Chain A
Amino acid sequence: MKGKLKGIKLLIIDDEAEFAATLCRRLRLRNIDAVDAYSGQEGLVRLTEVNPNIVILDLKMHDMSGLDVLEKIKASDASIEVIMLTGHGSIRAGIEAGEKGAFDYMIKPVDLPDLLGKINEAVKKQAEGNEGKT
């Protein structure tokens, strides 16, 4: 798993700063080039700086809805795969996110092995998409 994820760039956008920072640190320990942002607006700025393959995006943030951020990410680069993080009660919104192009959604708190598995699937899908273009 580590080998497959090495070389990808990942952006975590979550206004729960402690969560985003610690998750980012744990992913870096696994050789994943992860960067964090603590609001929707900051996330969109970081998006252009980092140019990530994968984004992990919280659905409910204080400044912007995760769905709005998702739309902007997809508008800037449709090949970026977005994994949404939702509360249990926001499953409907998670499904809506899927309709708007999110790769998948996961319910918080998330087990790291499950998240790594989902990131791996997203990377695979992205690679298949890139192969189709060439």
Chain B
Amino acid sequence: MTAGMTGEREQAIRRRQMASFGRLLADFSHEMCNHLAVIQEANGLLEDILAMEGGEGTPLFAALGEATGQIGQRVRRSAEFCQHLSGMAHRSDTPFSSFSVNELLAELAVFLERSARSRQVALLLELGQEIDPIYNEPALLQHVLYQLYAFSLDLLSNGQTLIISTAQAEAGVVISFRLVGVPELELAGMSETVQAAVVSLGTKLEHMEITGEGAVDSSGFRLLLPSLSVA
């Protein structure tokens, strides 16, 4: 077997792994949405009964109203999470597809915010307007973006900011990572597997020249994600 064939086989296995994992996550989020729907209806029924029974102004009514309100709020928040999870999971339904980079990033950010917050790092998304959909590997892009985020987060500390932005380019979409508070960074420190995954997307990472306010204290990198031709 040639090295080329081994590489292709590995890629095929990796795609199948991602598809299986995506399928499992999609089923899980679907199941969770069903449970949440039952909880929401049961909670709504409690609210209906409370409203019918009257008793406004009593401490019991107030306490029960507060409790059902909290349940309703948490159910809505959980449903949003599940819907984002489902969206993420379905990215691996087909290896190559046409998708919006902004939507994919917004979906991912919901899950990244927690780890950024725990390190007291602010995560900001600056998504460009009117960005065309691109044809590429969405599940692989998710993986790459997560790894780039993790790489950036390791360089950031308390009170610093990570800004992930997108912009339209002629050949695709530029995704930039700006680390505010980190004057210098070395891309060679990134793992070889991540760099290989970036190459599989048909692109490469490059240092970003930062100008304007706060430029001295900032560094960053970017990649131009190309829209591949439909096979």
Hey, which bits of chain A sit against chain B, CB under 8 A? 16, 18-19, 22-23, 25-26, 29, 60, 87-90, 107-112
In whole angstroms, what is the CA distance A87 to B35 when docked?
Answer: 12
Which A-B residue pairs are the 5 nearest by beta carbons?
A: A109-B37, A22-B41, A88-B83, A87-B30, A88-B86
B194: chain A residues within 8 A (beta carbon): none
Once the chains bind, are A89 and B29 in contact (CB under 8 Å)? yes
Once the chains bind, are A88 and B87 in contact (CB under 8 Å)? yes
- Give the residue among A16, A23, A88, A111 with the most B Cβ atoms within 10 A: A88
User: What is the interface of chain B mostly: helix, strand, loop, or mixed?
Assistant: helix
Once the chains bind, are B26 and A109 in contact (CB under 8 Å)? no
Once the chains bind, are B41 and A19 in contact (CB under 8 Å)? yes
Cβ of B40 under 8 Å from chain A: yes
Cβ of B42 under 8 Å from chain A: yes
In whole angstroms, what is the CA distance A14 to B44 when docked?
Answer: 18
Hey, which bits of chain B sit against chain A, CB under 8 A? 26, 29-30, 33-34, 36-42, 44-45, 48, 52, 75, 79, 82-83, 86-87, 89-90
Of the residues A25, A26, A90, A110, contact of B37 by C-beta under 8 Å: A110
Of the residues B30, B34, B40, contact of A89 by C-beta under 8 Å: B30
Once the chains bind, are A108 and B90 in contact (CB under 8 Å)? no
Residue of B nearest to A30 (CB): B48
Q: A29-B48, A88-B82 are in contact. Are A108 and B34 (CB under 8 A)?
A: yes
A107: chain B residues within 8 A (beta carbon): 33, 83
A90: chain B residues within 8 A (beta carbon): 30
Once the chains bind, are B48 and A109 in contact (CB under 8 Å)? no
Once the chains bind, are B42 and A108 in contact (CB under 8 Å)? no
Once the chains bind, are B34 and A26 in contact (CB under 8 Å)? no
B52: chain A residues within 8 A (beta carbon): 29
B83: chain A residues within 8 A (beta carbon): 88, 107
